Chains A and B, each alone.
Chain A
Amino acid sequence: MRYCNQCGDKIETGARFCPNCGARAAAEETPVTPYPAPISESEPQPEREAAPVAVLEPQEQPAAPAVYSIPTARKKRWPFIAGISAAAFVLLCTVFYLIGTSGENAAVPAFAYAQRAPSPRVDYTVTQSVFPSLYRSLDALVTFTATCEGGEKEVLIEVEVPGFTQKYTQKVTLTEQITKLNIRPPLLTGDLNLNSEKDAQLVFSVTEADTGKKLVQDSKAITLKSKYDAVWWTKEYGDMNNDNILAWMTPEAPGVLALKRNAVDYLSYISDGAMQSIVGYQDYGFFQEPAYNTWAQAVAIQGAMSDIDKIRYNNAAFSVSSEAQQRVMLPDDVMASKSGICIETSLLMASALQSAGMHAVLIFPPGHTQVAVEAWPGTGEYFLIETTVLPMSQTEEAFDYVVRYMTKDEWVGYLDGTGGSSLGECYVLDCDLGQKLGILPMSN
Chain B
Amino acid sequence: MKVTEKHGAHAKLPAALLSMLLILPILTGCGADATLPAEISNGIAQSEGHCEQITAIINWQLDGNAAYREQRDKFKESGDPRDEPQDTYDEVVVKYDELSAVMADLSVLKARADTLPPGGNDAETAIIQAARDYFAMLDAACRDLDAVFTYYFAMRDAMLPMRDFTAAENTTGYNDYALFAGQLSQVISQTQSKLESVSCPGYMSDSHSAFTARIDEFQSFCQDFSIAVQLSDPLRIASCNYRMQRLGLMLDKCDDALTDDFALQFSRVAERLNGTAAELRGELLAYV
Interface positions of A (Cβ within 8 A of B): 46-47, 49-50, 52-53, 74, 78, 81-82, 85, 88-89, 92-93, 95-97, 99-101, 103, 105, 107-109, 111-114, 139, 145, 147, 149-150, 176-182, 237-240, 242-243, 361, 363, 372, 374, 378-380, 382, 408, 411-412, 415, 426-430, 433, 436-437
Whether the pair B276, A180 counts as a contact (CB closer than 8 A) is: no
Q: List 25 A-B contacts (CB under 8 A).
A: A53-B14, A89-B20, A92-B25, A95-B25, A96-B26, A97-B28, A99-B29, A100-B33, A100-B123, A105-B122, A107-B33, A111-B126, A113-B130, A113-B280, A145-B264, A149-B276, A178-B202, A178-B265, A240-B246, A243-B242, A361-B239, A374-B235, A411-B234, A427-B242, A430-B239
Residues of B within 8 A of A237 (CB): 249
| Alpha-carbon distance A201/B44, docked complex (angstroms) | 51
- Whole-angstrom distance between the alpha carbons of A415 and B241 in the complex? 12
> Bound state CA distance, A88 and B11, in angstroms?
17
Selected contact of A111 from candidates B22, B202, B220, B283, CB within 8 Å = B283
Are B123 and A109 in touch, CB under 8 angstroms?
A: yes
A100 touches B30 (CB 8 A): yes
CB of B10 within 8 A of chain A? yes
A/B pair count, beta carbons within 8 Å: 162
* Contact across chains for A96 and B29 when beta carbons are under 8 A apart: yes
Which residues of the partner chain B approach A109 to less than 8 Å between Cβ atoms?
A: 34, 123, 126-127, 130, 283, 287
A147 touches B268 (CB 8 A): yes
8 Å CB contact of A108 from B123, B242, B249: B123
B10 and A78 contact, CB distance less than 8 A? yes
Q: Which residues of B contact A99 (CB under 8 A)?
A: 29
Contact A111 B235 (CB under 8 A): no
Interface residues of B in 140-193 (CB under 8 A from A): 140, 144
Q: How far is the CB of A313 from chain B (nearest CB, A)?
A: 24
Alpha-carbon distance A177/B6, docked complex (angstroms): 72
Q: Are A436 and B130 in contact (CB under 8 A)?
A: no
Interface centre among A113, A238, A363 (most CB of B within 10 A): A113
Nearest first, the 7 closest Cβ-Cβ pairs linking A and B are: A380-B233, A96-B25, A380-B231, A96-B29, A178-B203, A428-B238, A411-B234
Check A112 against B283 for contact (C-beta < 8 Å).
Answer: yes
Once bound together, how far apart are the Cα atoms of A382 and B228, in whole Å?
Answer: 13
What chain A residues lie within 8 Å of B202 (beta carbons)?
177-178
Say yes or no: B235 contacts A113, CB within 8 Å.
no
Q: Which residue of the partner chain, among A74, A107, A178, A180, contacts B123 with CB atoms under 8 Å?
A: A107
> Which residues of A have CB within 8 Å of B235?
361, 363, 372, 374, 380, 382, 411, 415, 428, 430
Chain B, Cβ-Cβ closest to A100: B29
- For residue B227, give the distance in angstroms from its CB to the closest CB of chain A: 8
Identity of the chain A residue whose Cβ is nearest the Cβ of B250 in the assembled complex: A240
Residue ID in chain A nearest B240 by CB atoms = A430
Smallest CB separation, B159 vs chain A (Å): 21
Asked if B86 is at the interface of the complex by the 8 Å CB criterion, the answer is no
CA distance A108 to B28 in the complex (A): 15
Please, which residues of chain B bring their CB within 8 A of the CB of A53? 14
A436 to B239, CA, bound (A): 13
Known: A50-B11, A237-B249. A113 touches B133 (CB 8 A): yes
Quick check: B7 and A179 within 8 Å, CB to CB?
A: no
B15 in the interface (beta carbon within 8 A) = yes
On chain A, the residues within 8 Å of B45 by CB distance are none
Whether A178 contacts B242 by the Cβ 8 Å rule is no
Cβ contact within 8 Å between A93 and B246: no
Interface readout for B1-39 with A: 1 if CB under 8 Å, 0 if not? 000001100110111011011101110111001100000
Is residue B63 contacting chain A, with contact meaning CB distance below 8 A? no
* Contact status A96-B30, CB under 8 Å: yes
Which of B13, B29, B204 is most buried by chain A, counting CB atoms within 10 A of its CB?
A: B29
Residues of B within 8 A of A50 (CB): 7, 10-11
Q: Is B78 engaged at the interface, CB distance under 8 Å to the other chain?
A: no
- In the complex, what residues of B have CB within 8 A of residue A107's CB? 30, 33-34, 122-123
